[in-house]
Amino acid sequence: MADREAERRFERIYGAYQRRVYAYFRRRTDPSAAQEGAAETFLIAWRRLDKVPDGDAALAWLYATSARVLANQNRASRRFARLLGRVAGLGGADPPGPDTILIQREADQEVLEALDRLSNGDRELLRLAVWEEVPREQLAEMYHCSPHALSQRIHRATGRLARHLPASGHKQGEVAPRPMQRGIAP
């Protein structure tokens, strides 16, 4: 790809998806880490621009990259907290989770507690499907499966989430409102 053509393509991708990638991180971490995560995601996109698909599939690629960047950030935060704990002779504090960032009502907290009881895979799948509103076809590409298989996977993850809701005091049939984030529209 010619340099100028590559720059224009990257600028289009960045302009189209920067807010959504930042929102992805912002829903999962603090503002500083969200900025770093979004910047790292787009740095990877620039370095691997030839691997970024065209059209709407670019967003799915960016979300998949963001998930890996976030996992790396979380591992680094845990290592740093453990190191601080050893140096100070105290137990390390957990890095702030989404619940410290979200404006919540009681029902939101119950849903987040139930979500925390799910596996990382189920939790991320539901967040992408519900919070990020990634279309099923794109999610299927991200998860390397058919849209039908993905729908089954979401259905099973939703069922597991529903089984955890009574444990958090949530009443069957009650729908919790979608959590909102400060400064970011859903």
Q: With bands split at pLDDT 50, 70 and 90, how would you rate the model's confidence at 185? A: very low
Exposed/middle/buried for residue 120 (C-beta within 10 Å: 0-12, 13-18, 19+)? exposed
Report d(CA 172, CA 136) in Å as an integer: 26
Instruction: Provide the domain count of the chain.
Output: 2
106 and 48 in a common domain: no
156 and 103 in a common domain: yes
* Res. 115: pLDDT tops 60: yes
- Domain finish residue from 96, 130, 160: 96
Q: With bands split at pLDDT 50, 70 and 90, how would you rate the model's confidence at 186? A: very low
127 and 178 in a common domain: yes
pLDDT average, residue stretch 5-17: 95
144 and 134 in a common domain: yes
- For residue 97, the model assigns a pLDDT of 58
